[in-house]
Amino acid sequence: MRYSQGGGLTAERRELRELVRLQVAAGFARGENNAVIARGLRVSVRSVQRWRRAWSAEGRDGLRSQGPASLPLLSEEQFAVLECELAKGPAEHGWSDQKWTLPRIKTVIGRRFDISYTAKGVSVLPHRHGWSWQVPARRAVERDDAAVAVWVKDVWPQVKTPRGHSGPGSSSKTRPGSRVAPPAARTWAPRGRTPIVRVRGRTTRRVSIAALTCYLPGQRSRVIWRPYRHDRSRSDRKSFAWTDYRDLLIAAHHQLGAPIVVVWDNVNSHLTDGMRRFIAGHDWLSVYQLPAYAPDLNPVEGIWSLLRRGRLANRIITDSDDLLQIIRGDLHRVQYRPHLVDGCLTATGLTLERS
C-alpha cells in the first residue's frame, strides 16, 4: 500500500500523507466512488471510507494534518548528530564488535544528549528516520577505500571509453571450488524448530568456474564461462592455471568477434609471466586490474550470487556430475536473461556509455 500504517512520521511524511488525502477529497468532489479512488491512489477502501466521513463532516479541513501527536525527545538536528555518532561504529563507543543493537543506541543517546529513552522508544526512532535491521555486507580490513575511489574516478573512464573498433567490455572472475555440499538458504519452518538439510559429509571433489560477463552499450549482454572439475588425485591442481584463462579469453574473442577489454582481479594466475606475455602479444586484448579487495566492483560476483540463491540452495547433490549439471543449467538460464547480467553491472555502481 502506498499509504502505509504506522506512527512516528517526519514532517515530510506527514505532508505527503496530507497531499494524498487532499487528492482523495478532490475525488469526493467529482462524485467518484470509494473503490475507484482507492484503486487510483493505491490506498485501502477502508481508509477512503474513513476519510469520506471526515470530509462530509468538516470538508477539506477535516483531512488536513493535525501535526504530531507528541514531540519526539530528539529533534531532527540531534538525530543528525546521532547518525554521525552511529556512523563511527560501535568500536568507537567502547564495544568490541561491529553490531548496533537497540540497547547500545539507547546508551549512546544517553551519553551524548543526556536523554533517557525506553526500549520501545528507541525501536521507533530508527524506523522513523529510514533505518532498518539488516545483515551487513562484508568488506576486507586490508581494502584501501581511497585507492578504490581513485580507480573508479580515473581508471574506469579509460575502460568504458570505446576505442576505434572495441568490442564488448568484459569482467572476469573465478568462482572458488563449489563442493558437493550446497549453500544454505532461508526457508520456512515452524518457529523454534531449525530446519535440517541433509548433505554429504565426506567428499573431496569440487567444481570451479571461470566466467566473463560481457557488455557493450546497445548490444545484448552475455556470460561466457568454463568449468573445471577437481579430482581426488593429489597431483591435481586446486584451481585454474593461467593457460586456462588464456584459452577462455581466446574463446571469448572468437565468440564475440571483436577486440575485448578485460577487467579482472588480482588472482595469481592473472599476473604470471606467461599471462603478461600473452596479453602483450595480442593487440585485440586490453587488460585492467581491479583494486585489491574490491569484489564489489566485479559484476561476476552477482552471477555467483544468483547461482547460490538458485537451484543449488538447500539441494541434495549426489556427486560432482550432479553439481556440474545444476551449475550449467543455472548459467544457461542467466545467459538467456540479459537483464540479469545487466543488473550485475548495475549493482557495482559502474556505468557504460557510448561516446
In sequence order, the β-bridge partners of residue 207 are 178, 229
pLDDT of residue 233: 59
Q: Please indicate, yes or no, if residue 134 is contained in any of the structural domains.
A: no
How are beta strands 285-289 and 260-264 bridged, if at all?
A: parallel
Same domain, 291 and 339: yes
Q: Please indicate, yes or no, if residue 70 is contained in any of the structural domains.
A: no
Same domain, 185 and 252: yes
Closest CA to 109 of 91, 121, 127: 121
Same domain, 27 and 118: no
How many structural domains compose the chain? 3
Q: Please indicate, yes or no, if residue 141 is contained in any of the structural domains.
A: no
pLDDT of residue 161: 72
Same domain, 258 and 308: yes
Same domain, 57 and 84: no
135: how many CB neighbours lie within 10 A of its CB? 5
Same domain, 96 and 165: no
pLDDT of residue 79: 87
List all residues 6 or more positions away from 245 whose beta carbon is below 8 Å from its beta carbon.
Answer: 172, 210, 269, 270, 275
**Which pTM was predicted?**
0.61
Q: Please indicate, yes or no, if residue 277 is contained in any of the structural domains.
A: yes
Q: Please indicate, yes or no, if residue 85 is contained in any of the structural domains.
A: yes
pLDDT digits (tens, 9 = 90+) for 247-273: 999 999 999 888 999 999 888 889 999
Same domain, 213 and 295: yes
Bigger pLDDT: 177 vs 127: 127
Domain of residue 337, CATH code: 3.30.420.10
pLDDT at residue 319 tops 70: yes
Q: Please indicate, yes or no, if residue 355 is contained in any of the structural domains.
A: no
Average pLDDT in the chain: 81
What are the DSSP calls for 104-129, one per residue? Answer: HHHHHHHHHH-----HHHHHHHHHHT
Same domain, 166 and 43: no
Same domain, 199 and 95: no
pLDDT digits (tens, 9 = 90+) for 9-41: 667 778 888 899 999 999 999 999 999 999 888
The range of the structural domain enclosing residue 52 comes to: 11-63
Q: Please indicate, yes or no, if residue 37 is contained in any of the structural domains.
A: yes
Same domain, 192 and 220: yes
pLDDT at residue 200 tops 70: no
Q: Please indicate, yes or no, if residue 262 is contained in any of the structural domains.
A: yes
Same domain, 44 and 91: no
Same domain, 125 and 150: no
